[in-house]
Every structure is written in structure tokens, then in C-alpha cells.
Structure 1
Amino acid sequence: MIAYVIQWGWLKIGSYGVMMALGFLVAWYLFRLELRRKGMDTDIASRITFNAAIWGVIGARLLSILEEPSHVVENPLRTILLEGGLTWYGGLAAGAAATVYTIWKAKASYLRVIDAMSPAAMVGYCFGRGGCLISGDGCYGIATDLPWGMQFPKLVETPGFHCMQSGAIAHWPPVDPSTCTDLSDLSTCLRYPPDVRVHPTPLYEILAGLLLFALMWSLRKRIQRTGVMLGLFLVLQAIPRFLVEFIRLNPRYAGLSLSQWLSIGMLIGGLGLFWRARHLPLETAEAPAEAEPKSRRRRRHR
């Protein structure tokens, strides 16, 4: 795995960050295409993408710091600026808030803009999962003997390993990797040896995401009710994530992981948008706004 694409002294550029930047760039391009097709202002795509990227990274870094505050105490500047992690949920929350604020400032229709953004968001998510795969950051599945299982020479980290690093687990007992296929006792599943094959769950999510993007992109011209595309994104995003969590080593809360509970919420939200859209009129494309003649603008401001 390639954790950093550039390492020069204190300067480190991670492969995850590079993939994330590429994801934002591709998503921005597709977002503009869809806004143009709908006859909407394409400039808002740049503002939303920029704000969501900046605040998404800030939110992801802040939540990562809150999860492991001991690292900040030891070396605050280095952790905050250079070597801190990124937590998906923090980035999602901050990026969504920045998107809503940008749409509000532009006095645009929330649902129409987010509908146009939804297929692009699916592609962006695929790039994020690609960053996980390349960097080897530990978001992988349980041990497997399937032919497509992957090995990671630099070891695959699991939640128990992070607990051991932070001191929450005093001892690191040797474990039989096969026991980690049982999610009933996560405390024993600290880290897999490099010769153990595991489920490449980021790859599963990339393949699912690309197929779902193709579906959304092919349906976008047929969907004529506001909110349906966003609802479709929420439903299609929730189902594969809910399923893949069954073969990931994440802590359980009432039998499900945090991602699974969030997926249930997304599924309910998406179905709610489908129900709401039934009571809305069909969407009509707006003609691009034409610039007013300068003489008319002068008379108006006199």
C-alpha cells in the first residue's frame, strides 16, 4: 500500500488526500454538466465544491482529533496540520452544512441543486474509497480464504489495534487470525499478520458505487420530480454500505455498527423523499438567465 505519494522531510502528501482531491475535481465537472442540462446557474457548482472540500476536510480532521485527543496533547501543531487523521462522518456533516449554507446564500432551490449534485457525489465517494484502498488505512474486512482476498505487507489495522495504541488495551496478546472472523469479541481482533487475506471492502464499495452512478446517470433525464434524485442517492448509498458492514471489523451498538445505523437513517430519508415527491408538480427546466442590457441596468439604479 502507498500511504504517501510524496515524503520530503516534514512535508507528507498522502495518497488518500490525492484521491480525495481528484474526487472533488471529477464531481465538480459532473455537477456543472448536470446544472447546465437543467438550465441552472453553473457557477454555484464551483462555490459548493470549494466550500464542501475545505469545510469537509476541517470537519473530518476535527472529529478525528476528538476521537484521539492524546495525539494532539503530545504534538498539537504536527497533528492538526500534518499528521492528523480524517473521519468520514465529520467530513460529511461539515461538508453538508457548507453546501446548505452556500445554496442559501445563492438563494437557489435546495432540492433542485442537491438533485443535480447527487450523481456527482456518488462518484466522489468512489474516489474516497479508492483512497482507502491505496493508502491501506485499515478500513478493510474480516479474514477470508476467497480467491480475491487481499494481503497487506504493512499490516491491516483494526479498531482493537487503535485501542492498543492509545493505551485503552494494556496488553496485546497473540491471536489466531481465524478467530477474527467472529465479530462477537472485537477485543481479540487487534491486527492481522501480513500473510492473512482479508476482504477488500473498499474495492467492493468502489465497484458498487460505479454501478450505482451509472444507474443514476442513465435515469437522470427521466426523473422529473424534485427530490427524487437525492432520495435515490440516499437509498443506493445506504444499501451496499449496510451490507458491507457485516464483514467489517467495526464496533457494534445494539448489534449494528455506527455506519449501519446511519445507513438506516439514510434509507428512511430517501424513502421519505420519494413519498414527498409524489405530491409535487413535475419539474420543468429553467432557461439560462440572460444578462440585462447595460442601459437598462443603469436606468434601474438611478
Structure 2
Amino acid sequence: MKRIVISIVIASASAVALFFFLRAVFSGELILNPVIVENLGPFSVRWYGVMIATGIIAAYLLGRRQGLKEGIKEDYLIEGVFIGIVFGVLGARIYYVAFNYEIYRGDFWSIFRTWDGGLAIHGAFFAALLVTFLYVTFRKKADLKFLQVTDIFTAVLPLAQAIGRWGNFTNYEAYGSPTDLPWKMFVPLRYRMPGYSEFEYFHPTFLYESLANVVIFAVLYWYLGKRKNYGEVTALYMVLYSIVRFFVEGLRLDSLYIGQSEVRTAQAVSVILLVVGIALFIFSRYKGEQVKRVS
């Protein structure tokens, strides 16, 4: 009982502190510095990287817990996660650069400066799916099922996304269109998108998506232990996140576009994943392989 009370007090104090912190930043009273430590040799430590790393670690710890429950050996968990992280980051960067090629064409080395931002979650998702498929196919000793692994991955992925979005916050990126809503966010002039220099306040779309991802994580992680067949959680992630991303993306000013069209890449991909997710859930629920419980 004492631990519960202490946890409630800490959580309440943290929530209050976060509220006043956000109010100061959103009003423009406090301007964030995206760099924590500068001139650390040839590198700098940025909040963006810290948030991404924190999200990955938190997701790994929870995914590891579920994986062990399902009888996956820890050696394979560590090996698979390491490979997945490496190729997930590569996929996220390649996807982003591919749809922003004009920006990087004149400065090749800037492609590797991921600490400045520029990772696309859809690229990481597709890369992770591909690596997972290859891993379970060729690492036969691990005795893993593709949809078993993707279920665990997609159950904890929203938590990593929710934390990672705060890296966008510290970089003053991934914000939305101008607004006068009470929760509007001040964006310093040097971070405003071209054509929006006269506006000061914008939709904090990073916050919208972060909060939505917390809810998605809570739902999926709860459902993970109750699913009937492999693939159900993977499908639900595709459906739930696609709905959120479609609407949030419509507010953003920094969207990636398909060629010279007016079609936002993330919205198009979200529609595709939504349809695939619905089909996968129906298939998994009624024709999928039953989850094997480990006593």
C-alpha cells in the first residue's frame, strides 16, 4: 500500500511539473535548446537522440518481458532486437531521405546526420517487418513465428513512438498549422516553416500523436496477453495507428509528399495499412495459428 501511495505522489508531482513546463514552452516564455552537450569530440548530445534511445529501451524491456513469457530464449531476443534496431533506424532514415531527396542532394554527408531529426516511423516499421521475416526464416533454431514476433513488436512500438515524439518537440519540428487554440505552441522564428514566419503559434501535433500512442500502447499491451491467435495485435496496431496518423498528418506542415503531387505520403501509407490491418485481423482471428501459452 505504501508503494502505491508513493507511486501516486510521484506520478502526480511529475504531471504537475510537466504541465507547468509545457505551459512555459508553449507560451514562449521558455525556449528549448535541442542540444544537451556540445563539442563532445566531433559529436554533440541532443535531446532528440536521448528521447529515441529512451523509447527504444523502454519498449525493449516490456517486449523482453512478454517474449520470455512466451518461451522465447533471451539470447534470441537480444540478437533479434539488436538487428532490428540497426535496420529499423536505417529504414527510417532511408525512407525519410527518399522523400526529401532535393534537400540532401547537394549535401551528401547531411544524410548521416540523424541527430538533427529526420526519421520516418513508416520506414522503420517496414524495415523491422522485413528483418523479422528474414530472421525467423533463417534463424530456425530460435523456433519463432513471424506474427508472434511482430505482435510483441507492435504492442510495445507505440510506447517507443510516444516517447520519441518528444524528441520532435525539443527540435521544434513535426508541429502543425497555425492556431489560436488554448493549447497552441510557440515556435521560435528560426524553426518556422517557409511561408509561416508571421505566425507564432502552431498545433502541437507531436503531443497529439504522443498521447494517442500512449492510449494505443495501453490497449495493445493489454490485448497482447489475451489474444487468441498470432497476428491480431499486429493487425490492431496497423488499424489504430493508421487512423491516428492519418488525421494528425493532415495538420502537419512538414509532411512528405509523393512526387510532385498533393498526396501526403504518410496519409497514403496509413490508408493502405488500415486496409491491410483489417484484413489481417479477420484472417488471424479466424484462420490464424493459435497462441501457445507457456506454463
TM range (shorter): 0.7 to 0.9
Q: CA deviation at 1:116?
A: 1.8
Residue 14 of structure 1 corresponds to 46
Equivalent pair of 1:111/1:227 in contact (CA under 8 Å): yes
Q: CA deviation at 1:153?
A: 2.3
Instruction: Report the Cα distance in structure 2 between the residues aligned to 1:101 and 1:272, rounded to whole angstroms.
Output: 23
Equivalent pair of 1:28/1:46 in contact (CA under 8 Å): no
- C-alpha RMSD of the superposition: 2.6
Residue 191 of structure 1 corresponds to 196
Equivalent pair of 2:159/2:213 in contact (CA under 8 Å): yes
Residue 132 of structure 1 corresponds to 168
Residue 280 of structure 2 corresponds to 273
1:33 maps to 2:69: no
What is the 5 A alignment of 1:102-121? 102-107=135-140, 108-121=144-157
Residue 234 of structure 1 corresponds to 238
Equivalent pair of 2:49/2:115 in contact (CA under 8 Å): no
TM-score of the aligned structures, taking structure 1 as reference length: 0.74
Q: Aligned in 2, Cα 1:84/1:101: closer, same or farther, shift over 3 Å?
A: farther
Residue 186 of structure 2 corresponds to 151
Q: Among 270, 284, 290, which residue is 1:282 paired with?
A: 290
Q: CA deviation at 1:84?
A: 6.5
Instruction: Report the Cα distance in structure 1 between the residues aligned to 2:234 and 2:103, rounded to whole angstroms.
Output: 39
Count, aligned residues? 254
Q: CA deviation at 1:70?
A: 6.3
Deviations, residues 25-50 of structure 1 (Å, cap 9, x unaligned): 11111111111222232333322321
Residue 243 of structure 1 corresponds to 247
Equivalent pair of 1:252/1:258 in contact (CA under 8 Å): yes
Instruction: Report the Cα distance in structure 2 between the residues aligned to 1:49 and 1:62, rounded to whole angstroms.
Output: 19
Gaps of at least 5 residues in structure 1 are 162-189, 288-302
Instruction: Report the Cα distance in structure 1 between the residues aligned to 2:93 and 2:233, rounded to whole angstroms.
Output: 30
Instruction: Report the Cα distance in structure 2 between the residues aligned to 1:285 and 1:157, rounded to whole angstroms.
Output: 51
Greater radius of gyration (CA) = 1
Structure 2 SS opposite 1:191: coil
Select between 222-231 and 273-282 the one with higher mean Cα deviation: 273-282
Q: How many percent identity over aligned positions?
A: 26
TM-score of the aligned structures, taking structure 2 as reference length: 0.76
Residue 4 of structure 1 corresponds to 35
Letter in 1 for 2:137: W
Instruction: Report the Cα distance in structure 2 between the residues aligned to 1:51 and 1:10, rounded to whole angstroms.
Output: 26
Letter in 2 for 1:279: K
Instruction: Report the Cα distance in structure 1 between the residues aligned to 2:97 and 2:237, rounded to whole angstroms.
Output: 29
Residue 24 of structure 2 corresponds to none
Gaps of at least 5 residues in structure 2 are 1-31
Q: Among 204, 210, 233, which residue is 2:208 paired with?
A: 204
Q: CA deviation at 1:61?
A: 3.6
Deviations, residues 240-269 of structure 1 (Å, cap 9, x unaligned): 111112222236666642111111111111
